[in-house]
Amino acid sequence: MSLSSLGLTALDETVYRALLRGDGAPPGDPGATRASMARLTQLELVRLDADGKAVAIEPGLAISRLIRRRLLETSAEQRRISAAWETLHMLTAEDQSTGSAIGVERIDGVEQVNERLWSMAADAYEVMTIQSVRRRAVPEMLPTYLKRLTEGVRWRTIVPRGSLRRQDVIEYVLALHRAGDHHRVIEEPAQQMVIFDRAMAFVPTVPNASGSGALMFRQAGAVATMVDLFERVWAHATDLEPDQAPALTPRERQVLHLLSSAGKDEVAAREMGVSLRTYRRHVAELLDRLGAANRFQAALFAQRQGWI
């Protein structure tokens, strides 16, 4: 298990493990090792004994301290994001009051908002959503939802843990997650948003009140800010199935097969019936999904899972 997700660098972890084994500081750059030792001491993972020798604390306590620290950091980050959202709504209100809301459209009514969202989702190649409450989709829209997931759309959803209490909702979310709408969970609700293709974003007209209607942003600066907020929350969120290998969509399996069988990207792109640029985008997204640094690592991971 790597401790990088809990905030340690590779050197920090190497030094901690060496001290835990009683080997002393590992060989390497003395300056970098001293700096790492100082960080570990500040994090209370290393203490000095009566003789002034650095000693690693036991792993259970160390992990507990790291997790507590990361949770505090995550909560602080979410508070900063919420404050940014409030500022965004205030600026939008001021802009509308002067009649100069360029790049912003107000959509009133839940049905009108849902109609616009599904219309955009039908053609998008990337969808990012943060939901304050996770509900089942409208039954007649579910086939469209699942069809889009088989077509290679990159769909990511963030939900608060409190919205996953009902068994039917959990089963529904797991089905979507395994079909390709990758879900991550946060401990506290964040402001709702839906972003399409990093070019258009929807937020509730009133924060945390989805029934109030929505504001649709096309202005590049505002959308870029929302994308940045989404990525920050996503980075701190927990995967819905953290101990499971990611379930691949049919498109991702096709890309993985072509990576192992097609000699050149141009050949693979022709077999998929897409442009070279689109194929390489699919490859990049697959590597990101598998947590692989390169195509070779992706192939090794796929072999371990028995996919190829």
Is this model's pTM higher than 0.85 or not?
Answer: no
Q: Is residue 223 part of a domain?
A: yes
Examine residue 151 and state whether it is found in any structural domain, yes or no: yes
CA atoms of 134 and 190, how far apart (whole Å): 12
Q: Is residue 171 assigned to a domain?
A: yes
In a domain, residue 65? The reply is no
Q: With a cut of 70, say whether residue 259 has pLDDT above it.
A: yes
Same domain, 110 and 227: yes
Mean pLDDT of 25-51: 80
Whether residue 159 is found in the same domain as residue 184? yes
From CA 287, how far away is CA 248, in angstroms rounded? Answer: 12
Question: Are 249 and 179 within 8 A, CB to CB?
Answer: yes
Q: Could you tell me the residue range of the domain that residue 300 belongs to?
A: 250-305
Q: What is the pLDDT of residue 232?
A: 86
Q: What is the pLDDT of residue 101?
A: 47
115 and 228 together in one domain: yes
Q: Is residue 71 part of a domain?
A: no
Per mean pLDDT, which of 83-87, 120-124, 222-226, 243-247 is the most reliable? 222-226
pLDDT reported for residue 128: 93
Q: Is residue 259 part of a domain?
A: yes
Q: Number of structural domains, the chain?
A: 3
CATH number of residue 164's parent domain: 3.30.870.10
> Do 144 and 183 reside in the same domain of the chain?
yes
The DSSP bridge pattern shows strands 181-186 and 238-239 to be: antiparallel
